[in-house]
Amino acid sequence: MLAERNAMSPTVARQVRITAIKAAALLGESPKGGWSAEIRPEDSIHAIIAVHTDAGIVGHGSVFTDGRLVQAGLQVLEPLFRGESALEPERVSEKLHQNTFWMGRGGTLTHTISGIDIALWDILGKVTGQPVGRLLGGTYRTRAQPYCSLLMEEPAQMHEVVADFRSRGFRAFKIGWGPFGRRDDSKLDEAIVRAAREAAGPQAKLMVDPGASDALWPQGLKWAMRTAEMLKDYDIGWFEEPLRPDAIDDYCHLRRVSTVPIAGGEVLTRRQSFIPWLTRGAFDIVQPDVTKVGGLSEQRRIARMADDFGVKFVGHGWNTAVGVAADLQMAAASPLTDLVEFIGGSAYLDGIVAEPFALDDEGYLTIPDRPGLGLQLDRDKLARYTPDAAVLFQD
């Protein structure tokens, strides 16, 4: 609509109100996660949110959880957001947090508010005619390098998978989950990393994520210390989630002794939960997930707090095209964030947008400078992955 492409007058902008918020679960081609209880294609683990306004402008957000939970969360939150300003994402999101934390801080409601917050920033950008990155603090860069996030495989297959995505133009990779660390076989672990490095090439960025937030992760600190020592020989950019997500003492020790940078934080929600991890020096790289941490409002505050502690921020909104778009805008507004996660081969990225993401000749993504998040969802494509596609658009 014309109203979504052009900035509105100040008088009209002050009157933009939320009329409804809807959610559509994505299912049918959910990619494997490498989890011990593996995701099935028909499972819903992601949902798209649409915030509708009385000005006819719709903003979109993404939530990393089952769509049924998001829809239930919206019913709980509806009395708090109905009629609220659609142009004050931080205030409105904080209102939702403050009035519902006692129902389960960090769970379904926090995840749902994350999607609402992203969508409100999208609306604010559309109304002002500005990309969200500029509204978040400025434009430090106009492109970012996506690291292709791939499940770990047996060594021969790992080589093939990385080589395939390298042929598509990616120059940064993260391999994770799968058999790594789960078979008590250090030789297998090293063979997987060696295969990935050989396929990626010596100049590519390569990160390793064993996925210790999986159910009943079997390894502990000593395994992580030995593995970090092995990884340094393969020029690994960071060692992500090598320990169970609540083992803060072990993370602090591992970071002190490892020459490979330690990354984590994707399971944490709300800014307050990051404080002990930053003040105690648990991470070299912190990775809040914009689709569950509380949205862009929370992610921005965490990123700035991390920078004050000398910790690099890299977003974790890899799971849908909307999540990646939000991370790209945060990368534009963050002085030292040059990477974004990009899951390899997911239909929920390129398969739901009018204009798929495209790498340039150097393996980078251009950060959209169009108003809002800068992406356009495609109703017909979305209809393949949700029966509720219509609720995401203004009729």
Q: Hey, what are 136's tokens? A: 């978040």
Residue ranges for the chain with pLDDT beneath 50:
1-6, 11
pLDDT at residue 9, rounded to an integer: 52
pLDDT at residue 8, rounded to an integer: 55
pTM: 0.95
Contact 20, 90 (CB under 8 A): no
Q: What is the pLDDT of residues 176-220, one digit of tens each?
A: 999 999 998 999 999 999 999 999 999 999 999 999 999 999 999
Task: Give CA separation, 119 vs 188, 281, 344, in Å.
Answer: 43, 33, 24
pLDDT at residue 135, rounded to an integer: 98
Contact 323, 341 (CB under 8 A): no
| Dihedral Cα 222, 227, 232, 238, nearest 10 deg | -90
CB neighbours of 289 closer than 8 A, spacing ≥ 6? 64, 266, 315, 316, 317, 323
Report the interhelical angle of 155-167 vs 186-200 (nearest 10°): 20
Distance (Å, whole) CA 167 – CA 153? 18
Q: What is the pLDDT of residues 282-340, one digit of tens each?
A: 999 999 999 999 999 999 999 999 999 999 999 987 889 999 999 999 999 999 999 99
Task: Give CA separation, 193 vs 173, 183, 218, 228, 316, in Å.
Answer: 11, 15, 19, 12, 22
Contact 320, 48 (CB under 8 A): yes
Distance (Å, whole) CA 290 – CA 266? 9
Strand partners, 174: 149, 207
Residues, the chain, total? 395
pLDDT at residue 5, rounded to an integer: 45
Task: Give CA separation, 205 vs 91, 147, 175, 235, 301, in Å.
Answer: 38, 8, 11, 8, 27
43 φψ region: left (φ > 0), alpha (ψ -120 to 50), beta (else): beta
pLDDT at residue 13, rounded to an integer: 52
Domains and CATH numbers, the chain: 2-133+379-392 (3.30.390.10), 134-366 (3.20.20.120)
